[in-house]
Structure 1
């Protein structure tokens, strides 16, 4: 079976598109905040220096910080909606595309249908409240707002120039952008896995399914997941990581060292049939190659020199 890897490539491209939207949003916010800070310096600075005392007059600083916080709150509400839409697409696309492959390989109709909205919501709900998407983004938003407030206040107290202040804010927003991207990718990959798992549960009633850990073939893959690549377990079995994680699939290992930023996926073997191809990623480029495990791929790279 070769197309489960092709499905993953298609879904990952969807995630990359969502990440670019997040980058664009933070770039716009940075530009607007810089304009706001520049206006503050133009209006209230003396000889190019903007003092903390001057900005505290008439509650000026608090008003500026409240305005920034309001805009960032709007940004994160937009990000939440975009990621929710991404997760729904990831789940449904993997559910239906995987279902087609199971039916094709088993040569049997399995009665698949498009999941209802209620089914999707229930499937994607994280059992841990603190790890649910709204809570994760709210915590990140609060961190970004706090960091911006601290950076502006410290910059004013140090009597820094506009350029130094802008550099401080670049770091604060860069932190938020990175966190938002990580949340989007981690949650999207979790939705991918859940979609494939749920379709496999239905397919398992009509065919013999086993599951195999499938790692990304590039140098960024963590060592523990390189060792798991190609590992096959029974349909209801679990994978065990050297980091201590134990779970039914990648990104569902119940261990941050395994789950955060994990790019591995799960492949279901229908009647024992293994994949024909895999995606190799070198220098940022995806290449389709005959299926091999990470260990085999690494040996081949060493031979090629």
Structure 2
């Protein structure tokens, strides 16, 4: 195992959450279109025209919009739960997998107990000023409801058929799904970074020489400010400064431009233990010394720690 494999493992967890979020919005879209189809049918005259007066008759439109709002409250609650579970799972996996690498490289037992849910939740409550999950999702909910209201009103006023109105809604909710997935990816990345830093901090506290290095994805999509930090190695306690922001690593920056610098950031931290990139691989004992942390798979390591390191 190495740090790139950890990143790939975390990426799979994020992709799974994104798929679950996509499913929530796909099901909601089909439900809305089905309900509005029935409403269109009631509001269409014998000549096939849809009038604003008919649409509002018996307060039909407002009742439908109220129903959509109620349904979306449940949807956003589901999405919040998906993202919160993602954060917790990523934090645990990132923390433990990095600790596995660090202990093996340093050949030193550092972690005393397996992290519990309370410790994970406390670690995730970091004061990142722009990332507050529930307020962010609540704001998105209001925005999408307003867009739906405008889409329907514009379609009716323009005399458009149901097909065009449905396309407006598909485009609208498609964009909404992307926003929700972006929040999940940002939160997942933040949990991964925080966990790796917390793991590294414990390693340093146990007298091991460890540094962190900003590592950027060097392509045309990478921010120039992030590209400049690529390869910069500093002490674990050191903060990076970038474009008016400061923070311990990618996705954890605080400052006036925090949202711009954190959202969709693909940079990661790489760690150096005793000046070397840690990697778990089968190897012979060094200088005949017994290995404190023997070669094993990550799943074996996790069971070992959970069991109190009893052979």
Mark yes or no: TM-score above 0.5.
yes
Deviation at 1:236, TM superposition (A): 1.2
Deviation at 1:275, TM superposition (A): 6.2
Q: Aligned residue for 1:3?
A: 2
Q: Unaligned stretches of 5+ in structure 2? A: 280-311
Q: Aligned residue for 2:190?
A: 190
Per-residue CA distance 1:192-227 (angstroms, 9 max, x = gap) = 011111111111122011110122354432222222
Q: Aligned residue for 1:22?
A: 21
> Does the aligned pair in 2 maintain the 1:144–1:175 contact within 8 Å?
no
> Does the aligned pair in 2 maintain the 1:240–1:246 contact within 8 Å?
yes
> What's the C-alpha RMSD, in Å, of the aligned pairs?
1.7
Partners in 2 of 1:219 and 1:49 — Cα distance? Answer: 50
Higher relative contact order (CA 8 A, sep 6+): 2
Per-residue CA distance 1:145-184 (angstroms, 9 max, x = gap) = 1111121122222221111111211222122111101100
- Which SS does the other structure have where 2:101 is aligned? helix
Q: Aligned residue for 2:137?
A: 137
Moved over 4 A (4+): none
Per-residue CA distance 1:21-71 (angstroms, 9 max, x = gap) = 111221111111111121112222123322211111111111111111111
Q: Aligned residue for 2:214?
A: 213
Q: Aligned residue for 1:33?
A: 32
Partners in 2 of 1:229 and 1:201 — Cα distance? Answer: 21
Q: Is the deviation greater in 41-50 or in 132-141?
A: 41-50
User: After superposition, where does 1:81-96 map in structure 2 within 5 Å?
Assistant: 81-96=81-96
Q: Aligned residue for 1:274?
A: 277
> Relative to 1, partners in 2 of residues 1:48 and 1:130: Cα closer, same or farther, differing over 3 Å?
farther
> Relative to 1, partners in 2 of residues 1:130 and 1:260: Cα closer, same or farther, differing over 3 Å?
closer
Q: Unaligned stretches of 5+ in structure 1? A: 277-305
Deviation at 1:8, TM superposition (A): 0.7
> Does the aligned pair in 2 maintain the 1:41–1:49 contact within 8 Å?
no
Partners in 1 of 2:140 and 2:252 — Cα distance? Answer: 22
**Structure showing greater Rg:** 2
Partners in 2 of 1:275 and 1:5 — Cα distance? Answer: 11
- Which SS does the other structure have where 1:204 is aligned? helix
Partners in 2 of 1:70 and 1:197 — Cα distance? Answer: 40
